[in-house]
Amino acid sequence: MSIFLIFVPLLWPIVQYYKWDPVWFGVILTLKVALGQFTPPLAVNLMVSCRIAGVRMEETVRWVGWLLFSMFVVMVLVIAFPELALWLPHKLGY
């Protein structure tokens, strides 16, 4: 939550200047934060999950790799094709 409180006010003028959809921007920012919390050097969520499961972080690399790759592919697709993130809000009338 604190990442959003810091970065949204800093990046909001850029969003307004380029006339990006705020929902699309929120989805992109959420995807980037989620990807960042599972990748080193910090990997906060990965460390917490490993601690709860009682396994070493090095043992999870081959299991988490496909997840990180798929999250990256989804992020690239949403950046390239904004309608992937906007079809549901448009369908609901937003």
64 contact partners, CB below 8 Å, separation of at least 6: 38, 46
Domains held by the chain: number: 1
Which residue range forms the structural domain that includes residue 68? Answer: 2-91
pLDDT tens-digit series, residues 1-49: 888 999 999 999 999 999 999 999 999 999 999 998 888 777 888 889 8
Higher pLDDT, 61 or 69: 69
Place of tokens 């959809």: 21
Residue 83 has pLDDT above 90, yes or no: yes
Predicted local confidence at residue 16, as pLDDT: 97
- Quick one: average pLDDT of 55-79? 90
Predicted local confidence at residue 88, as pLDDT: 93
